[in-house]
A = this chain, B = another copy of it.
Amino acid sequence: MIQMTLIQIDNYGPWTVTPAPRTESDLQILQAELYADLQRQFAAKQGLVFFTRFDNMLAVTNNSDVEDHLRIQRSIRNRYPITVSMGVGAAETPYDAQRNASKALQNYGGAQSEDRSEILAVDGLVNKEESFVQLAHIDINGITESLTDIVPAYDTSFIVNRVQHFLMKKLIEKGSLLFFIGGDNFMSPCNGLEPEGLLKIIEEIEAEINVALKAGIGKAPTAEKAANLADLALEEIRDGFTYDLVHVMKE
């Protein structure tokens, strides 16, 4: 089972315009540093946070217990002008885990409710024995030569965003999630997705928008290990140790 945590800044929207709209650069710095900070803290327990919408972040948090979550909420409260609420869910698929996490938090009130502050809503936690995370690291073949070095920077990011959009559309049907992690890289929490299923998606995308992708899949008890195995699997494809476009490594 995979455990996911929804991290939501409390009443953030209204705060950003009170008393007047706050300087955009300050908000961008605040959001990026909050994300980096949460990443560092969840990483201490082998978790992995995705920036998602920045005011709402989704994280794979197998191995983080209630006390870990409370410690992180406290440390944010002590160092930022805002507080964060969290919902925690566990399920067989990443989609269901984040849905359970979302529901748990939504039960305590809206994201912009003035009464709701620093809630920790736990729907379920994954115990060590059943802990399992499957992550796919997907990237675009030869993007540097074919795009970055020859077309305008914005055109490349336009194509990367297009790929993300198509990947999200196809993966969500499998109960898998998809997050952009920079460059031409995507990370997909995909417990339950077979390699063949991901290969089919990659082939469809090549057919539909003519972009060639490849994917390394890692399977392990924690997000950190799964991500590392996915990276190693992807390296094996890059280095030609396999001709498969989807390569799997497990602990």
A binding-site residues for B, Cβ under 8 Å: 6, 8, 12-13, 17, 20-33, 35-37, 39-45, 47-49, 51-56, 58, 71, 74-75, 77-81, 95, 98-99, 101-103, 106, 110-112, 144-145, 148-154, 156-158, 160-162, 164-165, 168, 172, 177, 181-184, 187, 224, 227-228, 231-232, 234-235
Q: How far is the CB of A236 from chain B (nearest CB, A)?
A: 11
| Dominant SS among interface residues on chain A | helix
Q: Are B40 and A36 in contact (CB under 8 A)?
A: no
Contact B79 A26 (CB under 8 A): yes
Question: What residues of B have a CB within 8 angstroms of the CB of A183 in the complex?
Answer: 12-13, 53-56
A148 touches B56 (CB 8 A): yes
Q: Are B149 and A158 in contact, with the CB atoms below 8 A?
A: no
Chain B positions within 8 Å of A106 at CB level: 149-150
Measured CB to CB, the nearest residue on chain B to A82 is: B81
Question: Known: A81-B78, A154-B58, A158-B168. Contact between A24 and B112, CB under 8 A?
Answer: no
Nearest-CB residue, chain B, relative to A216: B21
Inter-chain CA distance A28–B60, complex, in Å, is 14
Taken together as a complex, chains A and B put the C-alpha atoms of A22 and B227 apart, in Å, by 10
Are the C-beta atoms of B144 and A181 separated by less than 8 Å?
Answer: no
Do residues B21 and A29 form an inter-chain contact, with CB atoms below 8 A? Answer: no
Q: Which residue of B lies closest to A148 (CB)?
A: B111
A42 to B25 CA separation, bound complex (whole angstroms)? 9
**Measured between alpha carbons, how far is A187 from B25 in the docked complex, in Å?**
12
Instruction: Give me the 9 closest cross-chain CB pairs, A-B, nearest first.
Output: A21-B231, A25-B43, A54-B182, A44-B44, A26-B78, A32-B36, A99-B152, A165-B165, A24-B227
5 contacting pairs across A/B (C-beta < 8 A): A25-B224, A28-B49, A30-B78, A37-B40, A165-B165
Specify which of B110, B144, B172 is in contact with A154 (CB 8 Å cutoff): B172
Inter-chain CA distance A25–B248, complex, in Å, is: 21
